[in-house]
Each structure stands twice: as structure tokens, then as C-alpha cells.
Structure 1
Amino acid sequence: MQLQGKVAVITGAAQGLGKATAVAMAKEGADTVVCDIQEDLLHEVAEEIEALGRRCLPVRCDVSSSREVTQLFERAVQEFGTVHILVNNAARVPINAAETERRNKHYAYVTTPVPRSSLGITSSLEDEDWLKWWDVNVHGVFYCTREALKFMEPQKYGKIVNITSIAGVSAASTHSPGYSASKAAVASLTKTVGFDVAGSNIYVNAIACGAVLTPALEEVLGVLSDEQKASIYQMIPLGRIGKPEEYASLAVYLAGDTHYLVGQVLNANGGIVI
């Protein structure tokens, strides 16, 4: 019960990695505040956590709105008194039809013998393809971090875990330059904020996730042929996609008090990036 007595805020917690992280932290003793825009699923998560004997406050919140984020933390503090842990998990991911087509083009390029040429991805993007990634993936992380620090700095204690991606530290997501750039921004923000607040006993770190077997990814895999899926698995040294619970265990570790990590971006990806 390494998080006994702690209060954790987890964004994007209605399903997938966010839900797995909230449940994992509750199992380690934390009371949780779970937020998402999918309110119906959010209440199911809260019920699951409460069944573990922990308190849970579900809050509908669009993290791209600084006003809603402020209200989220106000409610968290009203309910629990303070905040000790923040997991910035909420994010947009590239799953629409155009992004899937570009992804398949990229994967074919790196997994089959085809002539070398420009993929033409970046030059074909519209402004919307670029701009849509920043509101949730970057601004949301900043808004939540800023609000959490208003409570963590005075109490001289806090743990912030940012969920970024191998897309931000490699060319693994060439099919989506905007997504990659937004996740690189989170990695950089982790380092600068980590340095900024370490003197107040606040640890800021990030997990650069590889593929996570979330409902969104299952949707992507569902339209691929067996051959295409085999090509994807071939690119992963472990030969499989990571489970949400595996990533959540690392988030729990970073939220605990048994490490010496500050401003680090940990590559948890089955060996794709070593």
C-alpha cells in the first residue's frame, strides 16, 4: 500500500491506460479523482474503485479548457483537502480514417521491401491536421500541472507523471507529425518543470509509452489484416503490444516515494526504442 493516504488526480481515466492507472493507484491505497469527457464510462470506473474500498470522485472535465481544469482541482480539494499525485494521461490519438491510411503507408514502408522515396505525409497535411493536437495533448498537460502545483508547492510534496509516447522521442509515428510534435512537447515540459519544482520536493517524470492495448488501438487493429498486424508485432522486440496494467505499474512506481528520478522520460515500449 505504497500510496496509502495520498490523493491522486488522473486525467483521461474513463478507459484504457487512464482507467488502469486509477485502479492500480487505488489498489495501492490512494483516493482518486478521475476525470474525462466520457462521463458515463467515468462513473463505471468510480464504482470499480469504490468496490476496492477507496474513495473516488468522478468529474467530467475537458482538460483543454483552463476554466474546467481549475474547477476540477477545486472539487478535488473540496472533497479530499489536497492533491499529492497528478497523472496527465488525457490525450488525442491518431485514429481517424486519414490517419489510419497514413499509418498503413508508413508501416508498409518500414516492414516491406519497397522503393525508397518521400512518403509525402508532412507536405500533404492541412492546418487542422497540425493544430488539433495541441489543445489536449499540450495545453491540457500544462493547465493541469499549473493547478496541481498550486497545492503541491505550499505543502512541499508532489508527484507528477506525464504520459507521453515514443512518438515524441523517435520517428515511430511518422504517419502523424502533429501528434509526434505534441508528445515531444510533453517530454520537454517534463524536463523543464521537473527542474523548476524539484527544490520543493516535487518529482516530475514521464512515461514514453509504446503501443498500449486500449480500446482506441483495438479499433485500429480491427481493420488490419493478419499480415499487417504481424508486421506491426515484428517491429516490437517483445513481439506484442503492452497491456494498460503494465504501464500503470510504472506510473504507480513514479507516484511513490522509493525513487530518485526527476525530469526523466522513461521509454516503456517493449524495446522499440532502446
Structure 2
Amino acid sequence: MKLKDKVALITGTAAPKGLGKAIAVAMAREGAKIAVCDINEEGVIQSAKDIEATGAQALGLRCDVSDVESVRETFSKVIDRYGTLDILVNNAALIPTKPADTDRRNRHYAYMTTPIPRQSIGITSSLTDDDWLRWWGVNVHGVFYCTREALKIMEPAKYGRIVNIASTGGISVMSGHSPGYSASKAAVVSFTKTVAQDVAGAGIFVNCIAPGGIHTDDFEGYLSGLTDVQRNTLWQIMPAGRLGKPEEYAALAVHLASDETYCVGQIISPNGGLVF
């Protein structure tokens, strides 16, 4: 019971087989009292019920992390229920799943694995303002809003654990198909390091997980739309030959949220060998 009696808030937890829910369940099994939030109210309420079924306490809340007032209200409700907050996992994020994103992803992967003359892929020059701007509200501002509210609780207590979820896209060229998404995740990486230095002296450890391919329903949907050649192209650039399971990433989140970690400001990237 590594997290016995700790209070944990995990954002972005509505997806039934998503990373956020997997982290919440893993922390519940380690003894934490759980609060989960998502903009999808129906989904997050169901996630809370599923967590309660494990025998843990759980609170499900609708929250738009890109809206500062929504974030403040969510944290207030967590405090009303549990009295404190020990752990924050900033998991909520937008990911590239639109048809145009899929087209750019396939073009990028093909360019990386096919012996053709070097040329511009034409991705960045073809992006619209919306293609660029749509990532920042949730992926960056949301992480800041939630972290700020958490620190207002953790700093007086002189204790806390914050785990930010970034991506290999923020530390490599593996998401070259989505410059806006990659830039937003790189911002999370840099934010993690600076906040970690700011608050470590108060016993608050801030770290970041940069996953490289998570086998969620969204990614399963992407895979199902690929041809055999396209799917094999993807596995060709992944030495492990598969995507990571949400539960595999969740185990790392539990460690970083526990008192067993000495990590401060670290960017840890479980990615099956995708990025070294």
C-alpha cells in the first residue's frame, strides 16, 4: 500500500481504457483516496464508480482544465470531500486524432521508413492557425492551472507529488507529424523542470512521464484504419514491436507519486525503445 491514505487527483479520466483511468485504478489499489475529473461528465462519473468497485473512495467531477474557474471549483470540491491533496497527475490532454492528423501521421511515418529522396514533407507550412492553437488550452494552460491550485495546498503542508504526462513528441521528432502537439508537450517538459526546482525545497517532487505510444481506444481506432503495410511500418520504428499498455505506464506513475521516489524534475520516457 504505497499510497495508503494519500489523496490523489488525476485529470483526464473519462476514457474506459485510457491512461488516466489506469493511473487512478493503480493508485486506488495502493491505498489512495481518489478524485478523478474530465470534461466528459458521464464518462468520469462511470470511472469513479469503477474505482469504488475496487473498494477505494472515489470522487468523479466534471472539469474543463483549460478553464481556470472550472479548475478552481474542482479543487475546492476535492478539499471539501477529502480535506487535502497529496498527489496531482496532470494527464488531461488533446491528442492528434482528427482525419487530417491521421493523414499527416501516415505521411510522416512513411517518410521515416521509406528509402526516397529527402524532401520537405510539407506539414508545418500547411498548418492552419487552429491546427497550431488548439493544443495549448488543455495541454499547457491546463497543466499550469491545475499545478498552481495544487501547490496552494501542498506548499503549506510541505509535501506533495505532481506527475505530468507529456509525450515522446515533446522530447524527440517522433511526433513530427504534429508540430503544435509536439510543442505543447515540450512545454510540459520544460514546465516540469522549472517547477520542480521551485518547490523541491518544500518537499514537493514534480516529475514527468513522456510516453511513447499507449494502447488506448483512440490508438486502437487509428490502428484499425491502417493497411497491413502501414501497420508494419509503424512496428518497424518501434523496437518492442508493440504499444505500451496503460497499466505499464500507471505503475511508473504510482512510483513517482510515492514516498519511495528520489526523482525531482525528471523526464522519464517508457517507450519500447522508440526513443533512446
- The offset of 1:218, in angstroms, is 1.2
Aligned to 1:14: 14
| Structure 1 residue corresponding to 2:199, chosen from 197, 200, 209 | 197
Taking the aligned partners of 1:248 and 1:234, their CA distance within structure 2 comes to: 25
Aligned to 2:250: 248
Aligned to 2:5: 5
Aligned to 1:182: 184
| Structure 2 residue corresponding to 1:62, chosen from 54, 61, 64 | 64
- The offset of 1:22, in angstroms, is 0.4
When normalised by structure 1's length, the TM-score is 0.99
When normalised by structure 2's length, the TM-score is 0.98
Aligned to 1:26: 28
- The offset of 1:219, in angstroms, is 1.4
- The offset of 1:41, in angstroms, is 1.6
- The offset of 1:88, in angstroms, is 0.2
- The offset of 1:37, in angstroms, is 1.2
Task: Give the root-mean-square deviation of aligned CA atoms.
Answer: 0.7
Aligned to 2:125: 123
Aligned to 1:43: 45
Aligned to 1:173: 175
Taking the aligned partners of 1:225 and 1:28, their CA distance within structure 2 comes to: 41
- The offset of 1:203, in angstroms, is 0.2
The residue correspondences of 1:21-170 to structure 2 (distance < 5 A) are 21-170=23-172
The SS at the match of 1:236 is coil
Aligned residues: 274
Question: Unaligned stretches of 5+ in structure 2?
Answer: none
Taking the aligned partners of 1:44 and 1:34, their CA distance within structure 2 comes to: 10
- The offset of 1:123, in angstroms, is 0.8
The SS at the match of 1:206 is strand
- The residue type equivalent to 1:203 in the other structure is F
Taking the aligned partners of 1:269 and 1:21, their CA distance within structure 2 comes to: 17
Runs of 4+ with >3 A deviation: none
Taking the aligned partners of 2:90 and 2:25, their CA distance within structure 1 comes to: 15
Taking the aligned partners of 1:267 and 1:47, their CA distance within structure 2 comes to: 30
- The offset of 1:52, in angstroms, is 1.3
Question: Unaligned stretches of 5+ in structure 1?
Answer: none
- The residue type equivalent to 2:2 in the other structure is Q
Taking the aligned partners of 2:231 and 2:89, their CA distance within structure 1 comes to: 30
Taking the aligned partners of 2:60 and 2:176, their CA distance within structure 1 comes to: 35
| CA deviations over 1:132-185 (Å, ceiling 9, x no partner) | 110000000000000000000000000000000000000000100000000000
Taking the aligned partners of 1:53 and 1:267, their CA distance within structure 2 comes to: 31
- The offset of 1:215, in angstroms, is 1.2
- The offset of 1:230, in angstroms, is 1.2
